[in-house]
Amino acid sequence: MKPEIVLTGPMYPDTMRQLDEKFTVHRLWQAPDKKAFLAPLAPRVRGIATTGGIGADAALMDALPNAKIISCFAVGVDAVDLEAAKARGVRVTNTPDVLTDCVADLAIALVLASARLVVRGDRFVRAGKWLEGQLEYGRKIGGSKLGILGLGRIGAAIAERAEAFKMEILWHGPRPKPAVRWRYVPDLIAMAREVDFLVVASPGGAATRHLVSRAVMEALGPEGTLVNIARGSVVDERALVELLEAKKLGAAALDVFENEPHVPEALFRMENVILQPHQGSATHATRAAMGQLVVDNLEAFFAGRPLLTPVV
C-alpha cells in the first residue's frame, strides 16, 4: 500500500500529480472541519506536505502523531514550528537552491522597475497621458548603492546581478563573512542611511520580525527605495505605509506582505509603490523543481534513505 500523507494546501499541478501517484493524499484545505478530518487519519498518516505560507504548527503535529516528516514547498520554513518538530522527532525538509535564481531575478526586476518607473510608465501610456506631456524622470542604476539585508544564497545572487548593472554592493547580516568580496556593514541603520536601494533577502520568523523598523526606513529616507522579496514579517508594514504617505520614504517594491494575500489598501493609491503577489519563485521551471524536491524528500524518508535537503 502507498504511504499516506496529509497535504495542507495546493501546490504546483505536476507536484500534486506526482504526490497522488506515489502516496495516498488527504487534502486538508478542502475539509470544512479540519479537526474531524484529521482524527480518523491519525493512526495511518506518516507524512505531511506543506507550503511555506501554511507551514505546520505543533497542533497539526499532535493531531498526526505518526507523521514523522514535514516536506515543505519553500526554502523558508518559518511557518513550521521547528522546535515542536525536534521535540517530537519529526524531520523537516525544504527546497533550497532551486529557487535562488528566480527570486534574485525578481529582486533586480523590482529595483529596475522602481528606479525607471516601468509600471508607472505603462499606466501613463495606457491612460493617454503621453499625449499631454512627458513622464517624470526616473533614477540611474549604474553608480548607485545597493544594500542587501541577508547575504545567503539569494542575497549573494542578487549582489552578483547588481554588479552587472555597475551598482556598489553593501550588505548586512548577523555576522561578517570573510570570504565575501562585498562590503559588510555591521549596523543596519547605518547601511540604510548610506544606500539608495535596500533589498530585504533575510529569513522570516521571530528573530527577524520588524528588523526593517521605522528607524531603518527613516534612515533610507525620502530618496531611498525599499525592495522586499523575503518575508512580509521582516518589515514593519504599518511604519512603511506611514512613511510612504508622509514622503519620508521614497519608494517601495514589494513581493511579500505581513498578512498576505491581504495588502494595506493605502498602498494601492501610491504611485511610488510596486506590488507583486508573492511570485519570487513563480516560474514553471522553478516551481517544478521545488515540487520535485518535496516528492523526492518524502520518497527518501519512506524508503529509509538520507533526506535530500533536511532542515531538522
The answer to whether residues 221 and 196 touch, using CB atoms and an 8 Å cutoff, is no
- Tell me which amino acid residue 283 is: T
Kindly name the residue from 231, 237, 258, 287 that is annotated as catalytic: 231
**Phi and psi for 152 in degrees, rounded to 5?**
-85, -155
Kindly name the residue from 27, 153, 210, 278 that is annotated as catalytic: 278
Strand, helix or coil for residue 152: coil
Cell 521614497 belongs to which residue? 250
Contacts (Cβ under 8 Å, ≥6 apart) of 50: 7, 8, 9, 56, 70, 71, 72, 73, 79, 80
Contacts (Cβ under 8 Å, ≥6 apart) of 66: 42, 43, 44, 45, 46
- Tell me which amino acid residue 115 is: A
Give the number of residues written for the chain.
312
Is 260 a known active-site residue? yes
Is 209 a known active-site residue? no
The answer to whether residues 73 and 288 touch, using CB atoms and an 8 Å cutoff, is no
Is 88 a known active-site residue? no
Contacts (Cβ under 8 Å, ≥6 apart) of 35: 63
Burial class (CB in 10 A: 0-12, 13-18, 19+), 186: exposed
Helix locations, 88-152, DSSP H: 100-115, 118-126
Catalytic machinery residues? 231, 260, 278
